[in-house]
Amino acid sequence: VNAAQLQLLLQAVASGATSAADAHAAIAQLPFEDLGFAKVDHHRELRKGVGEVVLGQGKTAVEIARVCTALLARASSVLVTRVTADAAREVQVLVPQLVYHASARTLRAGTVAPRAGRVAVVTAGTSDGPVADECTETLAAFGIAADRIADVGVAGIHRLFAQLERIAAADVVIAIAGMEAALPSVLGGLVATPLIAVPTSVGYGASFGGTAALLSALNCCASGVTVCNIDNGFGAAYAAHRILRAMDRVRSAA
């Protein structure tokens, strides 16, 4: 469905190198493998730079295992997010090479080549740790180096200032904060790097499961801060990957 590929394929058909039926099959069927309950997207690495990441939530252990097996048959690594400890144990029986990270709630297997670029993963409080863990596990699965800076929320702002040089030196900054999520606003006024806010569900009462932090991040008075879903450490890591990939294109062009 990529326009360039389509044109190539059509030229192959025109030249007789490929039959129309084969071309049609190539376009419509090749990029994924149908497991019945799931369609595994082997094509995604080409299209997006990293392979398909499996969302564990809502899948049975057997379903997770089958998707991982299918992916590992063609790729060197795999990542599953939002896996409970119970489900992880069941999956690991079926796919033993998967390693579980209890706080990040991820399963991961395989090795990836290290990439250029460094991402600062900054949390406001200790309780935001699990979201930061999902984030750094995802970065690791993509071969990206993470610099983890914990517990620098604005209630003791001198702790943040002491880390400022280190944060400003990163290529991308991910600010993870719950409650009123003031951290992205303060950071956004201090650093010029791409800055991604991850509101977390840390809090109670009028936090409404992270809604307060989410609204805070969306209304950030510092300009150009973008936002992920509540507790979505994975998504922030993936957005960082998109930015580092854009920086890689500059490197390749140089």
Out of 39, 73, 74, 97, the only residue in the binding site for a copy of itself (CB under 8 A) is 39
Of 68-76, 83-91, 107-115, 235-243: span binding a copy of itself (CB under 8 A)? 235-243
> Cα separation of 119 and 217, whole Å?
19
Q: Does 230 bind a copy of itself (CB under 8 A)?
A: yes
Concatenated DSSP letters for 25-69?
Answer: HHHHHTTEEE-SS-EEETTHHHHHSSPPPEE-TT--HHHHHHHHH
Nearer to a copy of itself, 78 or 179 (CB): 179
Does 62 bind a copy of itself (CB under 8 A)? Our answer is: no
Among 16, 85, 96, 111, which residue interacts with a copy of itself (rule: CB under 8 A)? 16
What is the x/- site pattern for a copy of itself, positions 176-215, by CB under 8 A?
A: --xxxxx--xx-xxx-xxxxx----xxxxxxxxxxxxxxx
Query: Within positions 89 to 128, which residues make up the interface with a copy of itself, using CB under 8 A?
Result: 124-128
Structure-block tokens of residue 171: 């290529």
Please name the residues in contact with 57: beta carbons below 8 A apart, sequence gap of 6 or more.
81, 82, 83
Single residue of 69, 72, 82, 112 touching a copy of itself by CB under 8 A = 82
The nearest distance, CB 130 to a copy of itself, in angstroms, is 8
Minimum CB distance to a copy of itself smaller for 109 or for 122: 122
Angle at 105 between CA 121 and CA 73, to 5 degrees: 105
> Does residue 159 belong to the site contacting a copy of itself (CB under 8 A)?
yes
Q: How far, in Å, CA of 170 to CA of 70, rounded?
A: 36
**69 counts as binding a copy of itself under rule CB under 8 A:** no
In the complex, what is the shortest distance from the CB of residue 138 to a copy of itself, in angstroms, rounded to a whole number? Answer: 9
Residue 220 CA to residue 232 CA, distance in Å, equals: 18
Select the residue interacting with a copy of itself from 62, 158, 175, 176 (CB under 8 A): 158
Which stretches of 103-231 are assigned E, i.e. beta strand?
Answer: 106-110, 118-123, 145-149, 172-177, 195-199, 225-227
Task: Kindly state whether residue 4 participates in binding a copy of itself, applying the rule CB under 8 A.
Answer: yes
Q: Parallel, antiparallel, or unpaired for β 54-55 and 77-81?
A: parallel
